[in-house]
């Protein structure tokens, strides 16, 4: 069973081309495990289960060939659900951004970490952006308290991760200082850059926006080094309405050609 984790530096669920490219990748990874209508669940815990994040997720996937759902731990009193059963029935579990510290604290109260670890071992794709990307590592740099600080993660992936890498210079600086001080080295991700682990070995780097990069951060001779990773560009699919217009244009063009041939 191939174990997959997709870590994204930052993105949103909008109709902009880079966001469409990210959603297409998520759908493809889910379909590779679950077939034609894979199950995709968002865990928006880090944001406090905000309606905005949940609503934009459904707007992105509601009309796609999949079965989207959300698991809102802050709303269990109104929407009871068997957490373990629901998560283990998914093909891809997506963790949204927000506070990494709050995310892990709430997960601990509901024993979510052990379920996600089991899901990963069973081949369910784990994915997320920002806090939802750093949580899979041994450590990350969070701004849950306002200023960037080191926080421990779940440790499914070795090393550390810093998100919004060149988008938030103070976070990047704090990360490099922490690595120099002994925190496990790892990776930096710009917004719209990502890393995909598939089985054993090194991850592959991806980017959905020109100029967005992934970096390998390591220590060499008591110095911290940053190395940009070669990345595969993710093209954005056409919006649904545009795809329909193109299909209709081609259909009419074909009909006109046939009419010409017959006439």
Using one digit for the tens of pLDDT, what is the confidence trace for 139-159? 999 998 889 999 999 999 999
Residue 244 lies in a domain: no
Using one digit for the tens of pLDDT, what is the confidence trace for 55-99? 999 999 998 999 999 999 998 878 788 999 999 999 999 999 999
Residue 188 belongs to what domain range? Answer: 4-235
- The residues near 232 (Cβ < 8 Å, ≥ 6 apart) are 204, 205, 206, 207
Residue 258 lies in a domain: no
Average pLDDT over every residue of 43-52 = 95
- The pTM of the full predicted model, rounded to 2 decimals, is 0.90
Residue 77 lies in a domain: yes
What's the whole-number average pLDDT of the chain? Answer: 91
Catalytic residue among 11, 72, 99, 164: 164
Residue 263 lies in a domain: no
Counted domains in the chain: 1
Reported confidence tier of residue 247, pLDDT bands at 50, 70, 90 = very low
- The residues near 146 (Cβ < 8 Å, ≥ 6 apart) are none
For this structure, is 144 an active site residue? no
Residue 253 lies in a domain: no
Catalytic residue among 47, 72, 130, 144: 130
Residue 262 lies in a domain: no
Residue 256 lies in a domain: no
Reported confidence tier of residue 254, pLDDT bands at 50, 70, 90 = low
Taking alpha carbons only, the member of 95, 96, 92 closest to residue 119 is 92
Residue 25 sits in a domain whose CATH number is 3.40.50.880
For this structure, is 164 an active site residue? yes
């Amino acid at each position: 069973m191939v174990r997959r984790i997709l870590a994204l530096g930052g993105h949103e669920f909008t109709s902009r081309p880079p966001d469409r490219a990210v959603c297409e990748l998520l759908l493809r990874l889910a379909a590779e495990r679950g077939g034609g209508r894979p199950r995709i669940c968002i865990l928006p815990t880090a944001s406090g289960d905000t309606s905005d994040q949940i609503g934009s997720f459904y707007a992105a996937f509601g009309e796609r060939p999949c079965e989207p759902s959300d698991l809102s731990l802050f709303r269990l009193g109104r929407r009871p659900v068997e957490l373990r059963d629901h998560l283990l029935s998914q093909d891809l579990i997506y963790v949204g951004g927000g506070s990494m510290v709050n995310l892990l604290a709430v997960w601990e109260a509901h024993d979510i970490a052990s379920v996600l670890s089991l899901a990963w071992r069973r081949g369910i794709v784990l994915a997320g952006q920002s806090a939802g990307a750093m949580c899979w590592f041994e450590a990350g740099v969070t701004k849950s308290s306002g200023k960037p600080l080191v926080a421990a993660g779940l440790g499914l992936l070795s090393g550390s991760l810093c998100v919004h890498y060149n988008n938030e210079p103070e976070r990047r600086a704090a990360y490099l200082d922490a690595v120099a001080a002994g925190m496990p080295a790892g990776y930096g991700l710009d917004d719209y850059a990502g890393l995909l682990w598939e089985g054993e070995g090194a991850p592959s780097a991806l980017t959905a926006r020109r100029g967005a990069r992934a970096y390998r951060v390591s220590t060499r001779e008591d110095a911290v080094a940053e190395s940009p990773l070669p990345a595969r560009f993710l093209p954005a699919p056409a919006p649904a309405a545009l795809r329909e217009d193109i299909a209709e244009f081609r259909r009419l063009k074909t009909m006109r050609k046939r009419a010409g041939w017959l006439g």
